Structure 1
Amino acid sequence: MVTLRLTWGLLVLCVVAASPPRYARQAELDNYDDNNNVDIDLNKEGGDFYEYYDEIDETQMETDTLVPDEDIDPSNGASFEEEEEGENVEHEEQEERRTVEENEHKELPIQPQLIPSGSGESGTLMGPSAQGGMATCMLCTCLVGSVYCDDLKLDRVPPLAKETTHFYARYNKIARISKSDFANLNKLKRIDLTSNSISRIDDDAFFGLPALQELILRENSIRQLPALPPSMSLIDACHNQLGSTGIQREAFKDMPGLLYLYLTDNNIDHIPVPLPDSLRSLHLQNNNIQMMHEDTFCNPHDLNYIRNALEDVRLDGNPINLSRTPQAYICLPRIPVGALI
């Protein structure tokens, strides 16, 4: 029995020795009495501890949010309003520079001038390359060989480029046509000088133009029609002062391509024969023509001759009786317009 008790005692000691130690806090909890009404708040110690660290975390977060990075210099920063204002100023400066550049590249209109009358060369066009027609195109309108100088108060023909094919200078104050005005213009086909003050034309002013086909000199004061090249197809000299001597003898004979001849209101007293067979229209109204000969339009030696092209002959407004000389126009496809009584 003694041996048994000793063995049991040793076993108890071993169990006690093997059990974990007990602390004071745990002992206090072990001694807790539900009936002593003592309110122990576990958060009083541990809760204050967690509360403190929660406050530290929130404060640290707010501090991290407000404090700028160490790499950014706050002195170099700008507010949103300042940045926006800076962008607006920069945009305005860019627009101003762009406007200045556009103005620099924009060509200013050239204002050609005329030397005033009494200065020695009245009406001379000023500008670079005047002999090449550049100055003329500053004043007139130039379109692919055509030069339009209408109603510009010109008192002389302006310089023209060699490539000019059509020239219009209507309703101006040009008084004279000289030989040099159209010199070396080998491509010039049409000249229109309607309603100027032309009273004198040099005899060789137009004759040296190999391509000239149409010449319009209406409403001037021309007393002498100059020599014209054989290339003519239209001649209009109505409302001038040619009279009985203003047209040279056989002036239109060597013009195989002449189609239209207009000489209305010129005080002419005769029909300017011979006329080329190509002629289609002849206007001589309001002149002083009194007679028509048998060979004016027809061939008295060839009764079968017919002038088919000449369909338009105007003789109204002349003191001539067409019924007296029917043989003169019997070869025409139509009777001329004029008095028959």
Structure 2
Amino acid sequence: MSNQQLALQIDKPGDIPVVGPREIPNVPAGEVLIKILATALNPADWKIQDMGFLSVFPAIPGTDLAGEVETVGAGVTKFKKGDRVMTQGFFDVPDRASFQQYTLMKENFVAKIPASLSYEEAATIPMCFVTAAVGLFAPSAANLNPGVEWLGHKQTGQTILIIGGSTSVGQYVVQLAKFIGFTNIIVYASKKHHTYLTGLGATQCIDRSAVSLDALADAIPGEVDLVYDAVMFPEAQDAATNIVRVGGKVATVSNGADMRSEAVKEASKDKHFYMVAGGAQWPGQEEFCAALWERAERFLIEGIVKPNRHELLPGGLRAIVPGLERLKKDEVSGVKLVVRPHDTEI
């Protein structure tokens, strides 16, 4: 195998990403080299560029990936060459990013893919599945299943509201909320996605075009024990905090900023608010994420978690920049955009 690959690289801050050659990294002990056969695009991939979160240049974005194990490092026991796998890459560690043809990952943060799933389907799972699980399960957030165990219907009788239910994160929150037994799973999403979300486990769907965030509380019967905000807007954070019951919990996907108004913060000191950035690269999440990845294959085999619907973009890595522009313009809804890095023409 050649030691060269193609990667979508950002040479310095502010540059447009371009496809170019890059060395395939050597494989450290305890890690696997993965040949990336599919990678998915996320809004976070353009946000981290625009918000200046990248610090290592040349930078390679991208986190969602699926492929085959190419090489295993010393001491690896869980995987062998040719295994079909998926993982969540690290956005500011070029050797662990997904917008390239090969990447590295520690074996504890990799899962096998069931034969029933394609690489493209599997690539829609990692980042948003982990983000959903961290917000619901992890000790750093709602702490409903810190050991990632099969607990039965632990949350029976309780109500969860998911703002942004048709987002990738929102779809996984619906499925994981069903897994731990929430009786009422309410989603706030576009009407065109309601049938699909009901199939995933939602028990009530509220049309976001018919009901404003300010009026959302009036559309929900009874108390809400947990709100998961999957859209990360100030208005959504305020609405989530206002709606949840006293003593209840709010989990919100986050760039690290509490965007709630001062008035809402002051009035909600008796409610719990958690900002969620899911991933093994974040300090304090390594142990939880290792447990989650160890059980990820079982979630898929048992049908507890289903991948997002997806749209395959032709052109390999060169399709990523136009795809991210579509995400930035809010032109994508209810599906994930996926590319095959090895379809890239030189």
With normalisation by structure 2, the TM-score equals 0.22
Normalising by the residue count of structure 1, what TM-score does the alignment of the two structures yield?
Answer: 0.22
* Structure of higher CA gyration radius: 1
Q: Which has the higher contact order (CA 8 A, sep 6+)?
A: 2
